[in-house]
Amino acid sequence: GESVGLHLPTLSVQEGDNSIINCAYSNSASDYFIWYKQESGKGPQFIIDIRSNMDKRQGQRVTVLLNKTVKHLSLQIAATQPGDSAVYFCAEKWDANRDDKIIFGKGTRLHILP
């Protein structure tokens, strides 16, 4: 079915450490994956994306890893800062969709410890 799941609902990380947020997806037909960050009172904000023909993509302080064999996605945030506190969603899309809909997971809350 259409579902994107997450392993951990809450993750606490020391400021300055690296954060790793994991996500399992169920649709093997998914072609495209996105990580969103949602701060309190705001809409989801695009962080980084990856196509299914790639296994790694890097951005500024963030890296997304894709393992299609086990249908697993992860977001790595380097040197976590207080401003990284938010809920992070992995999301997926597939080309067979006539529309452009994004299927979101339930989210992981990232809590930064001082």
Partner 1 sequence: ETGVTQSPTHLIKTRGQQVTLRCSSQSGHNTVSWYQQALGQGPQFIFQYYREEENGRGNFPPRFSGLQFPNYSSELNVNALELDDSALYLCASSLWGGSITDTQYFGPGTRLTVL
The contact set with partner 1 (CB under 8 A) reads: 4, 31-32, 36, 41-46, 49, 51, 89, 91, 93-95, 97-107
Beta carbons within 8 Å of 91's beta carbon, 6+ residues apart: 4, 33, 34, 35, 36, 102, 103, 104, 105
CB of 14 to partner 1, least distance (A): 25
Q: For residues 82 and 72, what is the distance between their CA atoms, to the nearest angstrom?
A: 27
Which is closer to partner 1, CB of 70 or CB of 95?
95
Which is closer to partner 1, CB of 51 or CB of 79?
51
Which is closer to partner 1, CB of 12 or CB of 46?
46
Instruction: Output the six-digit token pair for 48.
Output: 């980084």
Which is closer to partner 1, CB of 11 or CB of 105?
105
CB of 105 to partner 1, least distance (A): 5
CA 77 to each of CA 95, 102, 111, 112: distance values in angstroms, whole numbers, following the listed order: 28, 23, 13, 12
